[in-house]
Every structure is written in structure tokens, then in C-alpha cells.
Structure 1
Amino acid sequence: MKAARIFGPHDIRYVEIETPSYGEADVLVRVKRCGVCGTDIAIYSGDMPYLRSGATTYPITPGHEWSGVIEAVGRNVTQLRVGDRVTGDVSLGCGQCAPCLQGDFNLCVARQEVGSFHNKDGAYAEYIAMPARQTYKLPEGASFDAGAMTEPTATVVYTVERVGIKFGDVVVVQGTGSIAILAAQVAQASGASCVIVTGRNDHKLALAREVGIDVTVNIQREDVEQRVHDLTDGRGADVVIEASGVGSEIRRSSRLARLGGRIGVVGIYEAPLESFDMSDIVLNDQTIHGTLASPRVFPGTLRMMAAGRIRCEPLITHRFKLSEAEDAFRAMIEENPTRIKIMLEID
């Protein structure tokens, strides 16, 4: 089969490799779509923390935001059939340890992450092999584009679950990428009374409003902290979700949150923070939640998307063929005010 594999920093090649084997409890999926994620770019650039720790090595096939059609099933698979349109989870656990038995596959010490951790080859390929227990049917009528957007949506559903958004909460989302705009929509669908998206890009802020976000703030032209305090009668936000991927913004998160507020951090920073004063967190009685992947939330995410509560397809702004993966990476890296989500088409 054909695949786009990363052989080292800034070295991605479209190559012929063997079609993956699959076990008795696995499925073999013909990939139709795969989104380009910041994680993929971090592997391509060599900045991914998993590379620094040795948990990921080159070469590797990236890609964990995918959808496709089942081509073959293992002999013990009963809930899925050849021809089913599916997507799948990113954290693949052993299924036997205590975290896995609770559904927390993302905490399994023996886990693999599709397209990255412990070199589970991903979906920048014509085929991907997946455990059936973490492969999910797409709702009737869902497009392959929407299927590929399920994983990033599930990631922010898990973040919203972790920070415990309550009915009537005021939520600030920092960032204007696909994860941020998805997080804002999930916060709304979870009962937030007001969602505020902050960022620097007017085009992306406009898109956030287009998909129904209440308030947007350009942090280059407005005092975002003052604006949030004005909108909350001086209290600050109940929840802040940091989805910009910019280290300096996590320091701002505490100033945007109210006393006793909750902060959710989604995404992996390419470099360690130079400084962060935890005294602000302690003295303001705030809580920071790190969130890794999307355990237990895929079925609920698919139902939410099928009900039309999340508009993900407007976020897809650029498309490339699998053979053009290097061009897709360049487009992801280059400054482009209109670029949000890049989708690889593998038809």
C-alpha cells in the first residue's frame, strides 16, 4: 500500500509499504480521510516531546484523525462488519490493566497512540489496522469529513468533561484553531451561558462567530482581561480552556479565571514554559486540568455530532491528496490567516 511516512525532521516521503496485518480482535480499514494535526507537525519538525523521550522513533506513519471503510475483520469481531463506515480512538490500551478496565486507555502504561506514541503507525496510509473495541461506526448520513473530525472533537469533549462545565457557566477558550473552535462549541452544547473565544486572527474569530460562538475578542486590539471581567461583573470566567498552544497564554489563563475557577489545558507545547508562577493558582484557589486524548467519550461525541450540536465541517479549509502530504505540511506551517483544518483525501 501507499503511505506518507516521516523518516526524520523535515523528511516526509510518499512510499510503498506492506499493508498492516490485523489480529483476531482487530479490523482492517481502508482510509478515506485523515486530518493534519499539530501533533503530526511536531513529529515532522522533530519537536514532539515523545521524540525527545524516545517513546516515538523514526520512521513513522503519522495521522490519528481518520475515517474509512472496514475492509476485513478478525475472526473474533462480532460488532463490526466489512463495509461499515468507521472512525477510531487515538489511545490504544492493553485492555487488561486497572486504567483500561475503567476505560482510561489514555493512562495505560503499555498504550500506543495512533500515529505517534510507541510507534503505532497512523492513517497517512491507504489502510490502518485497529482494535475493534476502539473502532466506532459513523452515524447514518455522516460524511467521511465529519468522521475524521470526530477525534479532535472527542478530545475537547473530554477536556470539557474534565473541567466540569456546569449549566450557566461562563467559559473562555483561548485560541482560534480547530481544537479551540470545537471546544467553544462543545462548551455551548454542555450548558455554558456565555462562551468567549480569544485570539489574534480576525478571519478565524469571524468563523467562530459563524458557527455560533457568543463573543470573540482580538487580543491584539482589546484588553482581553478587562473585557472578560466586564462580561462577568468583575468575577472572571468559571472555566478557561487553553487551546492556543502558546506557552505565554497559560499564564494569562489564571488571570481570566475567577477565584476558584477551573483551567483546562488541551494540546502539547513544543517547548517547556520558561516560567509559571504557581502562587497565582494557589492564592486564587484555582485548578488546572491536563487532558490527554479522549477516553470513554467517542460514542457520546458521535451522538452529539449526529444531532447537529457541533459544526465541524466549516473548519476544513484546505484539502490535499495523500501523495501531497509534504505540501499539506508546508501549508500547515506557513502563516495563513484563512487556514484552520487541513484534510488529506485518500480515495
Structure 2
Amino acid sequence: MRALVLTGPGKAEVQEVEPPAAAPGEVVVDVERVGVCGTDVELFTGEMSYLRTGRSWYPLRPGHEWCGRVSAAGAGVDPSWLGRAVTADTMLACGRCDRCRSGRHHVCADLAEIGISLGRPGALAERLAVPVTALHPLPATMDPALGALVEPGGNALRAARAAGLAAGERLLVLGTGTIGLLTALFARAAGAEVHLMGRDEAGLRLAAGLGFEHAWTRATLPASRWDAVVDASNAAELPALALELVEPARRVVYIGLAGGPSALDTRDLVLKDVTAVGILGGSAGMAEAIAAFADGSVDARPLVAATVGLADAAAVLAGHRPPAAGPGPKIHIDPRR
């Protein structure tokens, strides 16, 4: 089968590789759609910290935001999975340790991540093997664009929930990329008054097109009461700004990652009695994200700018946008093309 293989920093090519077999407890999925994520880009460029710590290495097959249909089932797998539309949790844990048993499998010490770490092949391929325990069923009629947005959607839903807002309270989201906009969509669906701050005019226009009336730059951001602030940016200075802006005794949520360390004065955190929450992974939010996409309360499809074939994946990782791409921040790959 064809698969995208990262062979070194800045090097990627479509290769013919051995197709996966369904081992006991696993299924094979025919992949229909894959989202390109910032993590994939960092693995391609060589900037991903896992490449320095030894959790990831080349050659590497990326892709962890995906959907497809089950085409084969291994021993011990219920055959009713065959033919079903699915996505899956990226985080594959041991299932035995205290963290796993207490519902924190996404921080298991022996965690392997699909398309990211410990050599687990990713979804930028025609087929993918996945443990059945990681699967999430999708409605048969769900648009593959939404199916491939479930994993980032789970992350964003967790961030929106972590803000701890009641209906009508005001949320400020810093960043108008995929996670920022998804967080805004989930928070709005829950009844929050959502404001966004960005630096990219295209992102601000897209936010307005999604029905967000309050989209600002740093220069135009009003001096309002912010009941919670979510930092979904990659700017090293914005974690401190989030803490500065949030109402005392409320919450800041950190889901974005900068390329370098961010400075945060814990004296400000303590003296404002603010709760700071970090969000890693969509595991605990994926089922609810699927439900929100399925019932139409959140429509994230406008975030997808274009869908291209596997042969174009390397160019996308290198930062090239397809010529006919729309305004959305997300590029999808159809490995069948």
C-alpha cells in the first residue's frame, strides 16, 4: 500500500510499504480522511521535542486525526465492527498502570501515540491497524471532514469545559487556528459568550464568517470582564497575557504550545487566586465531540480549507497551501487519491 514516510528533517515521500494485518485485538481500517496537524509539521521539520527525547524517530509515518471504515478484524474482535465508520483515540496506553486504571491513560508512562511516538504507524496511508479498544464509532452518514476533526475536536471540547463557565458568561479565546476556533464553537454551543483574539486577518474573517461577532486583535481588544481565558495560540507571550486578562478567582486554560518556553509569573497566579488548567489530548472529549458533530450543534466543516491526495501531503507539511484552498486553517488528505 502507499504511505507517507518521513525519512529525516524536511524529508518526506510516498512509499510502497507492507500493508497492516489485523493482529489479535486489532482492526484494519481503510483510511478515508486525515487532518494535517501542527504536531505533524513539527515531526516533518524536526522541531518536535520527542525527536530529541527519543520518543519519536525516523523513519516515521505520521497522521493522527483521521477517519475510515473497518475492513478487517483480528482474533477476539467482534465482527460487527466490519464495515463501520470509525475514528480512534491517538493515545494507546498499557491499560494496567494506576494512571490507566484511574482514567488517565493519556498520561500513561508507556504511552504510544498513533503517528507520533514509539514507532506506531499513522494514518497518512491507505490502511491503518488500530486496537479495537481505541475505536470510536461514527454515524454511517457523517461527513469524513467531520470524522477527521473528532480528535482535535476532543481536545477543544476539553478546553471549553475546563474553562468552567456557566451559560451567558464571557470567554476569551486567544488564537484563531483550528483548536482556537473549535474551542470557540464548543463553548458557544454550551451557551458562553465567546470572544476571539487573533493576529491573522484571515483567521479573524473566518471567525466572523462562523458567526462570532466579537473577533479582535490585541490592539482592538476591549477592556472587558473575561470570566475565563483559553490560550490556544503558539505565541510564547500569550500565556502571561491570559493570566493578566482573566477575572480573579476564575480560570485560564492552556492548550496551545509555543516553540520555546513561556514566562508565567506564579505570583500573579496566586495573588489573583486563578486556577490554571493544562489540556493534553482529546481522549476524554472524543465521544462528546462526535455527538456534537452528529446532532449539528457544532459544524466544524468550514475549518477545512482543502482536501488533497497523498502525493501532496509532503508539500502541505512544508507549508504550501493548495491553490484553491479556502480560508480555513485545516488541510485534509484523502489517502485514496
Question: In 2, Cα distance between the equivalents of 1:317 and 1:295?
Answer: 25
Matching residue of 1:257: 246
Look up the SS of the partner of 2:197 in the other structure: strand
- 8 Å contact kept, 1:174–1:197: yes
Question: In 2, Cα distance between the equivalents of 1:340 and 1:314?
Answer: 9
Question: In 2, Cα distance between the equivalents of 1:7 and 1:100?
Answer: 33
The question of 1:295 aligning with 2:294 is answered no
Q: 1:271/1:70 Cα in 2 relative to 1: closer, same or farther (>3 Å)?
A: same
| 1:343 alignment partner, one of 329, 332, 335 | 332
Deviations 1:71-94 (A, max 9, x none): 101221227422111111111111
- 8 Å contact kept, 2:3–2:17: yes
The question of 1:155 aligning with 2:152 is answered no
With structure 1 as the length reference, what TM-score do the two structures score?
A: 0.91
Query: CA shift at 1:21, angstroms?
Result: 3.2
Question: In 1, Cα distance between the equivalents of 2:293 and 2:31?
Answer: 20
Matching residue of 1:238: 227
Counterpart mapping for 1:51-62 below 5 A? 51-62=51-62
- 8 Å contact kept, 1:185–1:213: no
Extract unaligned runs of 5+ from structure 2.
Answer: none
Matching residue of 2:186: 186
Query: CA shift at 1:268, angstroms?
Result: 3.1
- Residue 329 of structure 2 aligns to which amino acid in structure 1? I
Between the aligned residues of both structures, percent identity stands at 31
Matching residue of 2:68: 68
Deviates most, 70-79 or 240-249: 70-79
Query: CA shift at 1:51, angstroms?
Result: 1.3
Look up the SS of the partner of 2:257 in the other structure: coil
- Residue 147 of structure 1 aligns to which amino acid in structure 2? G
- 8 Å contact kept, 2:175–2:232: yes
Look up the SS of the partner of 2:250 in the other structure: strand
Look up the SS of the partner of 1:117 in the other structure: coil
Query: CA shift at 1:339, angstroms?
Result: 5.1
Deviations 1:223-245 (A, max 9, x none): x2xx0x33x3xxxx121111111
The question of 1:115 aligning with 2:103 is answered no
Matching residue of 1:308: 296
Look up the SS of the partner of 2:237 in the other structure: helix
Matching residue of 1:197: 196
Question: In 2, Cα distance between the equivalents of 1:215 and 1:139?
Answer: 33
Matching residue of 2:87: 87
Look up the SS of the partner of 1:247 in the other structure: coil
Q: 1:77/1:18 Cα in 2 relative to 1: closer, same or farther (>3 Å)?
A: same
Question: In 1, Cα distance between the equivalents of 2:257 and 2:53?
Answer: 14
Matching residue of 2:131: 131
Q: 1:137/1:80 Cα in 2 relative to 1: closer, same or farther (>3 Å)?
A: farther
Query: CA shift at 1:333, angstroms?
Result: 8.3
Look up the SS of the partner of 2:81 in the other structure: coil
The question of 1:282 aligning with 2:301 is answered no
Counterpart mapping for 1:27-46 below 5 A? 27-46=27-46
Query: CA shift at 1:202, angstroms?
Result: 2.3
Look up the SS of the partner of 1:262 in the other structure: strand
Question: In 1, Cα distance between the equivalents of 2:216 and 2:326?
Answer: 16
- 8 Å contact kept, 1:239–1:261: yes
- 8 Å contact kept, 1:204–1:337: no
Question: In 2, Cα distance between the equivalents of 1:109 and 1:38?
Answer: 23
- Residue 234 of structure 2 aligns to which amino acid in structure 1? G
Extract unaligned runs of 5+ from structure 1.
Answer: none
| 1:267 alignment partner, one of 237, 241, 256 | 256
Look up the SS of the partner of 2:283 in the other structure: coil
Look up the SS of the partner of 1:296 in the other structure: helix
Query: CA shift at 1:332, angstroms?
Result: 5.3
- 8 Å contact kept, 2:35–2:333: yes
Query: CA shift at 1:20, angstroms?
Result: 2.2
Matching residue of 2:50: 50
Look up the SS of the partner of 2:284 in the other structure: coil
Q: 1:245/1:85 Cα in 2 relative to 1: closer, same or farther (>3 Å)?
A: same
Query: CA shift at 1:208, angstroms?
Result: 1.3
Query: CA shift at 1:140, angstroms?
Result: 3.6
- 8 Å contact kept, 1:201–1:337: no
- Residue 275 of structure 2 aligns to which amino acid in structure 1? T
Deviations 1:79-134 (A, max 9, x none): 74221111111111112222222332211111111111222111111111111121
Query: CA shift at 1:191, angstroms?
Result: 2.7
- Residue 48 of structure 1 aligns to which amino acid in structure 2? M
Deviates most, 242-251 or 202-211: 202-211
Aligned residues: 334
With structure 2 as the length reference, what TM-score do the two structures score?
A: 0.93
What is the RMSD computed on CA atoms of the aligned residues? Answer: 1.9
Look up the SS of the partner of 2:314 in the other structure: helix
Q: 1:101/1:27 Cα in 2 relative to 1: closer, same or farther (>3 Å)?
A: same
Question: In 2, Cα distance between the equivalents of 1:332 and 1:47?
Answer: 18
Counterpart mapping for 1:92-111 below 5 A? 92-111=92-111
